[in-house]
Structure 1
Amino acid sequence: MPSTARQPLHDLPPPPTERPASARVFTLPTRSSPDAATQQANARLVRLIKDVATLDRAAFRELYDATSAYLMGVAYTVVGQRELAEEVLQDAYVKVWHHAESYDPRLAAPMTWLIHIVRNRAIDVRRARQQEVASMVPLSEEQQAHLADTVGDASIDPLHLLQRHAVEMNIQACLHSLSAEQRQAVALVIYRGMAHAEIAKLANVPLGTAKAWVRRGLARLAECVGAVS
């Protein structure tokens, strides 16, 4: 019997490449008197979500292809930045993958359920971003140069380099205020020049998670360095 344990989802398709049309507020379908085409489309989405609940990756891909462009627009409308909207979309579909079994078509139409997931995640990301921007103290050019000046031997662990330079700059407490994942991600960005996607692949986590580690780690480090300088 095949295992029913839900495995991590690492092959989520990339977000739609086209920018949403001016991020307009989209008109949601009404509940009254759906026509035959709407009923058919809803039935298809209900079937796909039920199949996703059984770990059917083909159904997940079909669901993504059928809904991602619209949901990308919903996310963009809330956060107002394409990069953040892509993060929202990734996280939302990961949640759909893990919680598809919770969907009840008697309580909501499939698109209503999906939009609810995307909007909630988008609101969380927007609030977190606003808090980060409000508390961020940018590193000075001198501080940035000091951190990135010596890349060192490629065989040296980038985290070790970050820790060594933290000692030189007397910001060990700042560095230890980051989570272990944030420290590692920041070190890979500074000393290996790795992109978010490369870090996500290396850590075997969703792209949105890797982006959050880097963004929040750098913001926290900058804030702490500014406070002690």
Structure 2
Amino acid sequence: MADSSSLDPQQLRTWLQGAARRDATAFRSLYDATSAKLFGFALRILGKRELAEEVLQESFVAIWHNAGSYQSHLAAPMTWMTTVVRNKAYDLLRRSDSAAEIDSDQFDADIMNALHDPAATPIEALELSQDAKALARCMSALEGLHRQVLGLAFFHELSHSEVAQQLALPIGTVKTWIRRSLERLKTCLTKGERP
């Protein structure tokens, strides 16, 4: 098992390409190098070891089947695989009716991290922090799948068709959800600015 800090993106890409060609040895190497980190990520979302193990297994099955759709110009290999794990974890949470609370907390953290600027002055950092909290609050008011569609489109910079493919949704649904969710966010953020 490789230390996550020593994971070579180029090597991961090579193994993913091998998995796309149904090379079991390349896939095994990919699994050995990344499974510990991906398991830890799933465990942070789910909080239960047995659920994280289930999600990890489902994720690697999905990675095996979808390795051919990985596009290196869209995301680094670990980012793509982490997205697969996160989606599987959120699917499990939705099925277990506990999605809203944990999902919202994770999105709050994702938004705070996405808006963090290490070069910001203290005043700018405070403004960014306040903006991030307002955005996180408004995002948490959205339905789980709508929040996930927006996250993939804006935080992971996937196109509408890529979001539709990743979530197995019709592209029209994805476009509608993004448009409506952005309208709701705008309304929520505008109301939050009023004294």
Q: Structure 2 length normalisation: TM-score?
A: 0.47
Find the structure with the greater CA-based Rg.
1
- Normalised by the length of structure 1, the TM-score is 0.40
> Comparing both chains, which one has the higher relative contact order based on Cα–Cα distances under 8 Å and sequence gaps of 6 or more?
1
By percentage of residues, which structure has more helix?
2
